[in-house]
Amino acid sequence: MAEADAILKVEGLTRRYGALTAVDGLSFAVRRGEVFGFLGPNGAGKTTTIKMMCGLLRPHGGSIEIAGRRMRAGDWKGLRCIGVCPQDIVLWDTMTCREQLEFMGRAYDLEWKCARRRAGALLAAFGLAEKGGHLARTLSGGMRRRLNIALALVHEPEVLFLDEPQAGLDPQSRVLVREYVRGLAGRTTVVLTTHDMEEAEKMSDRVCIVDHGRLLVLDTVAGIKAGLGQGDLFEVRITEDASGRLLPHLAGLEGRAGRFTARGNTVSLVAEDAAAVLPLVLQRIREQGLHLEDVRLRQTTLEDAFIRLTGRGLRE
Amino acid sequence: MRFLAYLQKTFKENVREWKITVLALVFGPFFVYMMYAYFGSATVRYTLLVVNRDRAVPAASGRLGAGDDLLAQWRAAKYPDGKAVFQVKEIAEAEEGIRELQDRSADLLLLIPADFSLRLSECMENKNGAVPRLTNVGDHSNVRFTVATAFVDFVAYAYISQVAKVVMPLQVDFQPVAAGRDLSEFDLYVPALLVLAIIMVLFTAAASLIKEVDKGTISRLILSRLTAFEFLGAIAANQVLISTAALGLTYLAALHVGYRSAGSLALFLLVGALSSLAVVAISLLVAAFMRTIFELLTVGVFPFFVLMFFSECMFPLPRITLFRLAGHAFYANDLLPTALTVKAFNKILNFRAGLGDLSYELGGIVVLTVLYFVLGAWLFHRRHVRVR
């Protein structure tokens, strides 16, 4: 990526909490106008990184550059080029939706009329037009979440940080938010953290996966999935232990189809000719007197890549 | 613009979270009516229990029944407003009186011995005879006992000097210190009750601050262009408004039950507004150490009571002198701006003090307000606003 394209550059970013290094020398750049998926398991350092990037947390090392400006503590105050939607829903319960949006606009020095116009537009865009006069505490969880996002957009920031924007949203709201965020692409740079791999895949131009505060991969979704191997994925589940009873007997098929992996009772394979290999695998199962339980053939997903990179161990 | 936007926001929130605002507004008036119900518009009436065993004796003028005469004198004792000083109740046995003293349904038990008139008569005839004796029984830790004893003695000495035709080599005149009027006990409570209305702002102001921390909305404010000065200024302005309204309502309640101020209303409001600002400054200190509204409504009660008690809103406290400067003593509770406000209100409302008479109190309130504001803002910033 050409450095000149980057609106946000992070180099060697580090943050510690006592003995724990939550973010460990993280470096990446976000291109102007792209939707940048920032993914990782719980405790990977995503929220800490977002907080440092938007000025709510002081880094212990490294640097952050936004729109060509190297940031120092205090530089973020009143910075209109960034908007932040925190992970927690942060609203003023006894203010109406419209009042909150107008207030945030005025807190960013928008003219009163402009703030009012922006508030109206955002209420409409997030399906809250009819709730404009309602107090935030009377809204449903999904509406509160949508208002939480809208509040980050009142002052039309160049870079928008969305930390888990879709947590707790119903399917309709997810579509609405996804379409809105995708609609921003090209005009607004969006840095998005989420646990929802399907959403990340649908929304992001590029994805960065971090774990233990370190960068594991940064690429387009297609590029990351390609790292798993070309082709489709099939999974065969038997009632017996797959790694001990079946995997040794699939050795002869590897040359054609790629590498098999086994986990518990399941053997999986990513291969361009996965459909052709499948009958051969089923034949080996019969020959070994094993019992077939389930067979699945599907395209690889970002989640497959994510699990491959970060492992299956449970986090916090 | 931003200041006005935040002022508008915080005002609306205070109106919509009406319970705490209404509590702040009615707290002072409520206590005015309560205190009035207990103390009335006149001074306190003391309950005397009298065991009168005195037997009348023949005297030059007929018969001398000094015990009965004394009882009549006590019953006739009046305040300048014409209301009785004592409620006198005759009882048969001292034990009955002691029980009443113990449960504080009476203030003083007087025992008049059987030979009271006889001794008085002998004294009148023979100036060297044994003097008549009265016995006062009471709880010495009860302030009402002490005051009642002083009044009882005063009446008794006056009676004896009149009957015995003894000219006392001393005359004591009583002159009210208030501006040309006698103050009732209730009048003395009113300045403290007015300050109570201001102290309640501690909760509304601290709640306005802590709510932003509790809900996480402070992060939105930190990132916006709203400055600390605008944020704190808007909250202070709004709370001074609430406090002044509460002060006004409390004052109206006092007027409603018959209180009459001697001093300047404008000066009273000026001191009230300054004092409100001082309480907002203290609420900044309180808010700096708390993160949730729940903490404020539990732990926050402690600073509230400190302000209430040590400002002498409830009862007078002994003075602890910290130091003396240019002949002026500085007391420990002068560190509380509200304690100085009680003094200032008392001087203005009851003793018609002018601006020049309040230099110590006003100067103290201003200095303490600035000090607490700077300290509170620094601590609040350090604990809730500063990027860590």
Residue A250: band (very low, low, confident or very high) from pLDDT cuts 50, 70, 90: confident
Indicate which of B224, B227, B385 best probes the interface with A, i.e. most A CBs within 10 Å of its own CB.
B224
Please tell me whether residues B311 and B362 are part of one structural domain.
yes
Indicate which of B3, B6, B9 best probes the interface with A, i.e. most A CBs within 10 Å of its own CB.
B9
Please tell me whether residues B302 and B190 are part of one structural domain.
yes
Please tell me whether residues B200 and B316 are part of one structural domain.
yes
For residue B222, the distance in angstroms to the closest alpha carbon of chain A comes to 7
Mapping DSSP to helix (H, G, I), strand (E, B) and coil, where does residue A214 land?
strand
**Looking at residues A262-276, what average pLDDT do you find?**
83
For residue A94, the distance in angstroms to the closest alpha carbon of chain B comes to 6
Asked whether the beta carbons of residue A77 and residue B5 sit closer than 8 angstroms, the reply is no
Residues 6+ apart with CB under 8 A from B93: B51
Please tell me whether residues B296 and B312 are part of one structural domain.
yes
Q: How far apart are CA B16 and CA B8, in angstroms?
A: 12
Give the CATH architecture of domain A229-299.
2-Layer Sandwich (3.30)
Indicate which of B218, B220, B227, B293 best probes the interface with A, i.e. most A CBs within 10 Å of its own CB.
B220
> In this structure, is residue B235 part of a structural domain?
yes
Output the DSSP codes for B156-213.
HHHHHHHHTTPPPS--------SSSSPPPHHHHHHHHHHHHHHHTHHHHHHHHHHHHH
Lowest mean pLDDT among A272-286, B204-218, B239-253: A272-286
Share of chain B above pLDDT 90, in %: 63
Asked whether the beta carbons of residue B387 and residue A58 sit closer than 8 angstroms, the reply is yes
Q: Is 80 exceeded by the pLDDT of residue A140? A: yes
> In this structure, is residue B173 part of a structural domain?
no
Please tell me whether residues B145 and B207 are part of one structural domain.
no
Number of Cβ within 10 Å of residue A61's Cβ equals 15
> In this structure, is residue B67 part of a structural domain?
yes
CB-based burial label for A41 (10 Å; 0-12, 13-18, 19+): buried
Choose among A56, A73, A74: nearest Cβ to B219: A56
Residues of chain A contacting B387 with CB distance shorter than 8 Å: 55-58, 73-74, 76
Q: Of B134, B163, B192, which residue is a domain's last?
A: B163
Number of Cβ within 10 Å of residue B354's Cβ equals 11
Task: Residue B139: give its domain's CATH number.
Answer: 3.40.1710.10
Mapping DSSP to helix (H, G, I), strand (E, B) and coil, where does residue A189 land?
strand
**Nearest Cα to Cα of residue B305 among B198, B199, B192, B201:** B199
Give me the number of domains chain B comprises.
2
Please tell me whether residues B222 and B345 are part of one structural domain.
yes
Please tell me whether residues B110 and B91 are part of one structural domain.
yes
Residue A27: band (very low, low, confident or very high) from pLDDT cuts 50, 70, 90: very high
> In this structure, is residue B308 part of a structural domain?
yes
Q: What is the pLDDT of residues B15-73, one digit of tens each?
A: 999 998 999 999 999 999 998 888 765 567 899 999 999 999 887 778 889 999 999 99
Q: What is the pLDDT of residues A216-239, one digit of tens each?
A: 999 999 898 888 777 788 889 999
- Whole-number pLDDT of residue A3: 56
Please tell me whether residues B267 and B135 are part of one structural domain.
no
**Looking at residues A180-184, what average pLDDT do you find?**
90
Chain B interface includes A99 (CB < 8 A): yes
Q: Of B131, B163, B195, which residue is a domain's last?
A: B163
Q: Which domain holds residue B80?
A: 46-163
Please tell me whether residues B252 and B321 are part of one structural domain.
yes
Q: How many helices (H) and strands (E) does chain A have?
A: 11, 14
The token duo for B252 is 């109206």
Please tell me whether residues B332 and B232 are part of one structural domain.
yes
For residue A218, the distance in angstroms to the closest alpha carbon of chain B comes to 28
For residue B256, the distance in angstroms to the closest alpha carbon of chain A comes to 35
Q: What is the pLDDT of residues B108-125, one digit of tens each?
A: 999 999 999 998 888 887
Please tell me whether residues B53 and B200 are part of one structural domain.
no
Q: What is the pLDDT of residues B283-314, one digit of tens each?
A: 999 999 999 999 998 998 999 999 998 988 77
Please tell me whether residues B134 and B270 are part of one structural domain.
no
CA atoms within 13 A on the CB side of B123: 18
CB B311, CB B325: distance < 8 Å: no
Choose among A73, A90, A135: nearest Cβ to B217: A90
Choose among B6, B216, B225: nearest Cβ to A86: B216
Q: Closest residue of B to A74, CA-based?
A: B387
